[in-house]
Amino acid sequence: MSKSNLKHLEKVEDAVKSSIKLSDEEKSQTLQKIKEWYMEDKAEGIIWEELVEISQEMLPILKELGLL
């Protein structure tokens, strides 16, 4: 997750926790959704890193086969 995304989610989380307009149930549901967004963003980052690593390994093979 990028630092800017993390900071944004932290600000939203703080605002939810300190809100006087939201019920405890609404706060709980919102905080759960924020956690889900965090995990999804983190997973996308991990997938991207893995794809970059795999592509680095595949380039020499594709060149050897004459495909690049």
Q: Is residue 16 included in any domain, yes or no?
A: no
Q: Is residue 1 included in any domain, yes or no?
A: yes
Q: Is residue 21 included in any domain, yes or no?
A: no
Q: Is the pLDDT of residue 22 over 90?
A: yes
Number of domains observed in the structure of the chain: 1
Q: Is residue 14 included in any domain, yes or no?
A: no
Q: Is the pLDDT of residue 5 over 90?
A: no
Q: Model pTM?
A: 0.64
Q: How many CB atoms lie within 10 A of CB 29?
A: 13
- Going by C-alpha positions, the residue among 13, 2, 7, 4 that lies closest to residue 36 is 13
Q: Is residue 55 included in any domain, yes or no?
A: yes
* pLDDT, position 1: 66
Q: Is residue 57 included in any domain, yes or no?
A: yes
Q: Is residue 56 included in any domain, yes or no?
A: yes
- Going by C-alpha positions, the residue among 45, 19, 13 that lies closest to residue 32 is 13
What range defines the domain where residue 52 resides?
1-8+26-68
Q: Is residue 36 included in any domain, yes or no?
A: yes
